[in-house]
A and B are shown apart, each in its own frame.
Chain A
Amino acid sequence: MNTTDRTIEALANREYKWGFVTDVAADTIPPGLDEDVIRLISAKKSEPDFMLEWRLRAYRHWSKLERSAGEPKWANVSYPPIDYQKIVYYSAPRREGSGLASLDDVDPKLIETFDKLGIPLAEQKRLAGVAVDAVFDSVSVATTFKEKLAELGIIFCSFSEAVRNHPELVQKYLGSVVPYTDNFYAALNSAVFSDGSFCYIPKGVRCPMELSTYFRINTAGSGQFERTLIVADEGSSVSYLEGCTAPRRDENQLHAAVVELIALEGAQIKYSTVQNWYAGDADGRGGIFNFVTKRGKCAGRRARISWTQVETGSAITWKYPSVILQADDTVGEFYSVALTANRQQADTGTKMIHVGKNTRSTIISKGISAGRGNNTYRGLVKILPRASHARNYTQCDSLLLGDRCGAHTFPYIEVANASSTAEHEASTSKISDEQLFYCKQRGLSGENAVSLIINGFCKEVFKNLPMEFAVEAQKLLGVSLEGSIG
């Protein structure tokens, strides 16, 4: 075993440093799911009737799916069956009295938790210049910078608040991109989602700071079902970040989120994710099942939606951030780095649906497999007959570290318009001995050489991340691969 073998080994056996549990009094409902649970969740959040109706419709659709086909089986992942009646669908840190007047009312333990995770919620840290909505288990605990954003007319709040304060916007856009009938997990989420972030950027406003949501699962046996809805009105632009962690536990926990983006004419949305849910231990015990539906719609001309994701966590990732290029001259982008080490499985990719004329999409996907990880790129590029002069470029590269991992590519390309062009390129390789030799001969240690090469491999994606995130992503990749470089 040479140095790099050892380095990879070391990388793979990394510790998950976000695996602590916060001991807070929680308001947790018993596990199980039926219509009463949905009514209870809705009542706890004092939702208007239209929300409850919608949840119940979604639930009925979901239970029909569960009885007939069950969960989707086409993904290239395997896991034991999930018992949906054993999941806790609502868990919130208990608070005294009613509502939060300011951050001071937030349980200090929660502030401490987010501080530990490096998420500044406290006033003095506002200099960081990123507005954060922090979601702990089922509810949002704090949203920073609200007032400053409100001056510009930007609404950035938890989903529950949006339902209470801006029901007309929620009703108009909720489910307009991902209807509850979309898939099994979207239906489940629509029925039981507890919180999430809501964001509305008014006409012509460029959001002056990065908006961010931080998700944290804490309670054992609970699932997290959050929902994010971002609406960028005409000519506006926003950059949005999402991060996630969970404690280490021996059991699997379910995370089934839905993210909907709507970009109207000339609007731009950039959505970045660093996903670092607990991935399970080296033998594949525990970890989060991350079954997420993310989709954006370019509803107005010249709109642009860009997804960037760095997926390093979760036992299983099942996620396809997509763009519907509905209007003419719209642009969709997808940049992804997915890493699977130990026994992680990822089946991830994107869908680009070209409906309008002169629509363009770019897909750059980098998969890294190490240990016994299995990494699948699954993508769809669909160019409809009306989408003349549509253009797609897809590149998916895989890097294999070790001879017990797998890298798979399943791209679907459907072209029904002769004036459009779709290109797809894919490659699979390992770090060559020549590359390593060159770096080492220049004085780099094996570990640094591998890290350098991997970062180079991912560069095209990282350069699309906001700066703070890019730095975090690079570090994360290093930590996630610790012990798996050979």
Chain B
Amino acid sequence: MATAVSTRARYLADFATREREGALERPSWLGPLRRAAISTFAEAGFPTTREEDWRYTNLAPLAQMPFTPVQTHEPPELSGTTVARLGIEGADWPRLVFVDGRYARRASTPTRQTLADGVRISSLADAMQADAGHGDGARLERHLARHAKPDGNVFAALNTAFVEDGALVEVRADTAASQPIELVFVARTPGVLAQPRILVIAERGSRVTIVERYVALVDDAYFTNVVTEVAIGPGASVDHYVVQEQSVRAFHVATLHAAIERDGSFSTCGVTLGGRLARTTLTAEFRGEGGAAALRGLYVIEGTQHVDHHVTVDHAVPRCTSRQLYKGVLDGSARAVFNGRIVVRPDAQKTDANQTNKHLLLSDGVEVDTKPQLEIFADDVKCTHGAAEGQLAPEPLFYLRSRGLAEPAARALLTYGFAREVVERIAPVPLQAYVDRQLRALTERLLQRSDRTAVEAAPSTKENR
């Protein structure tokens, strides 16, 4: 505990230093928000498993490690070959690259030329330097840190207190961005704390697709604490993807908040393959009638990886639709936590909400803790949820073997098929192909280990875990 306390003290000291340097007031309107956020963090500290939202996820290892932001003000550089490696085959869309949480201008696509009128992407640091109170500055002020509230979410608070860089995507009214916009976050330095911030503003009737990717150049411990805010105007539509391939020694905490205005539509799909501890806190908030949200996730994890999803859909207004599909494949001693909460507030009539959460358990050491919650205060609603944890069914396995597939191949195919349901809903073709390749390789690797026999035969060795 002592270390956790001193880690907290270090964050507070960092904040005090920045305050002395006058960094908090850049831009000036952010100062009070930062101060409020840091006091939330100072009060709460890192959550413990005694808190309901963190019941199954122990943050002690994270709270004990002294992660620090990059100590240099030099703009980050990446070699040409590295930059080339970062791309996805066939994806020639605009890309912003961040290294250890900071914008790498030269590694990014020069965006001005490639984008349609009315679509603007820039680094958040650049955007924040813009004149406050006018045009861009005013829009930023209206949205940044206004959606992902720091109260109740210590990590969002920490990010807000230190927000410095990240990405800003703005799409003007009735404009469709012709190509997905890709944001690649590269981890390069061990022990680094990166706190990128992403803000997506989709104005009335606009459309845009955002792809967030997290890649590691180093197989070591580091900590990414990202906050993504998506403001979806009336009738606007945002498709959002996250592919997280952090190092299996890294900590990844993500907060995603989508505020959906009247008739707006939001979809997100998170593919989690990396991280020692990966936590996603996702909130979809309906602010006007007729909104739609589709939230999907896939995690394929092994070893001692720990993946935690906390999803809240807030049906605050009538006539909105939400769909959730979360699937997990667990091997080794991996652990998955899923907490899906559907709230239907009083008078949010005609709500249609559904949620599905399924886990495939490949090994006897895994653990799944799932909690699909419904909180309903209106009567004319349709709400369902379903959860299932289990292993591969014997019948399809038998069928495939009768067709001549060896058992490992049959298992790999069925596991791939289980995960495929999420992957096939990824719309951008190069991205789907990329995830599909990763998935295929992973399932084959997981299942072709020679020591894997039928789970039934495994002796129970973990009686007193």
Interface residues of chain A, those whose CB is within 8 Å of chain B, are: 74, 357, 385-386, 388-389, 398, 400-430
- What residues of chain A lie closer than 8 Å to B368, measured between beta carbons? 413-416
- What residues of chain B lie closer than 8 Å to A423, measured between beta carbons? 386-390
Stretch binding the partner chain, chosen from B144-152, B284-292, B370-378: B370-378
Does A413 lie within 8 Å of B390, measured CB to CB?
no
Would you give the 0/1 interface string for B299-339, flagging 1 where the beta carbon is closer than 8 Å to chain A? 00000000000000000000000000000000000000000
Would you give the 0/1 interface string for B361-388, flagging 1 where the beta carbon is closer than 8 Å to chain A? 1111111111111111111111111111
Interface residues of chain B, those whose CB is within 8 Å of chain A, are: 52, 56, 346-347, 349, 359, 361-391, 455-456, 458, 460, 462-463, 465
18 sampled A-B residue pairs with Cβ under 8 A: A385-B462, A385-B463, A398-B376, A402-B379, A410-B371, A413-B389, A417-B361, A419-B364, A421-B391, A423-B386, A423-B390, A424-B385, A425-B384, A425-B386, A426-B372, A426-B386, A429-B381, A429-B383
- What residues of chain A lie closer than 8 Å to B388, measured between beta carbons? 421-424
Does B361 lie within 8 Å of A415, measured CB to CB?
yes
- Chain B nearest CB from A86 CB (Å) reads 31
- What residues of chain A lie closer than 8 Å to B371, measured between beta carbons? 410-413
- What residues of chain A lie closer than 8 Å to B455, measured between beta carbons? 418-419
- Chain A nearest CB from B186 CB (Å) reads 35
A403 and B388 alpha carbons, distance in the complex (Å): 31
- What residues of chain B lie closer than 8 Å to A418, measured between beta carbons? 361-366, 391, 455, 458
Most buried by B among A389, A398, A423: A423
Closest-by-CB residue of B relative to A407 is B376
Does A413 lie within 8 Å of B374, measured CB to CB?
no
Closest-by-CB residue of B relative to A377 is B374
Closest-by-CB residue of B relative to A426 is B385
Which single member of B369, B372, B379 contacts A430 (CB below 8 Å)?
A: B379
A405 and B376 alpha carbons, distance in the complex (Å): 8
- Chain A nearest CB from B63 CB (Å) reads 24
Does B384 lie within 8 Å of A427, measured CB to CB?
yes
Which single member of B349, B384, B386 contacts A428 (CB below 8 Å)?
A: B384
Does A403 lie within 8 Å of B380, measured CB to CB?
yes
- What residues of chain B lie closer than 8 Å to A421, measured between beta carbons? 388-391
- Chain A nearest CB from B147 CB (Å) reads 26
A interface, over-half SS: strand
Which single member of A74, A385, A408, A412 contacts B369 (CB below 8 Å)?
A: A412
- Chain B nearest CB from A21 CB (Å) reads 37
A425 and B387 alpha carbons, distance in the complex (Å): 6
Most buried by A among B359, B363, B365, B374: B374
Does A410 lie within 8 Å of B349, measured CB to CB?
no
A414 and B371 alpha carbons, distance in the complex (Å): 9
Does A403 lie within 8 Å of B349, measured CB to CB?
yes
- Chain B nearest CB from A355 CB (Å) reads 10
- Chain A nearest CB from B435 CB (Å) reads 25
Does A405 lie within 8 Å of B462, measured CB to CB?
no
Closest-by-CB residue of A relative to B388 is A423
Which single member of B389, B462, B463 contacts A422 (CB below 8 Å)?
A: B389
Closest-by-CB residue of A relative to B456 is A419
Does A419 lie within 8 Å of B391, measured CB to CB?
yes
Shortest 3 CB-CB contacts between residues of A and residues of B: A418-B361, A400-B379, A421-B390
- What residues of chain B lie closer than 8 Å to A427, measured between beta carbons? 383-384
Does B463 lie within 8 Å of A386, measured CB to CB?
yes
- New contact pairs (5) apart from A405-B379, A418-B455, CB-CB < 8 Å: A385-B462, A403-B346, A414-B56, A423-B390, A426-B374
- What residues of chain A lie closer than 8 Å to B377, measured between beta carbons? 405-406
Does B361 lie within 8 Å of A428, measured CB to CB?
no
A423 and B56 alpha carbons, distance in the complex (Å): 20
- Chain A nearest CB from B373 CB (Å) reads 5
- Chain A nearest CB from B335 CB (Å) reads 9
- Chain B nearest CB from A143 CB (Å) reads 43
A220 and B465 alpha carbons, distance in the complex (Å): 50
Q: Contacts A398-B376, A409-B374, A415-B368; is A422 near B390 (CB within 8 Å)?
A: yes
- Chain A nearest CB from B305 CB (Å) reads 16
- Chain A nearest CB from B243 CB (Å) reads 26
Which single member of A388, A400, A425 contacts B460 (CB below 8 Å)?
A: A388
- Chain B nearest CB from A362 CB (Å) reads 15
- Chain A nearest CB from B52 CB (Å) reads 7
A419 and B375 alpha carbons, distance in the complex (Å): 32
A390 and B377 alpha carbons, distance in the complex (Å): 35
- Chain B nearest CB from A8 CB (Å) reads 11
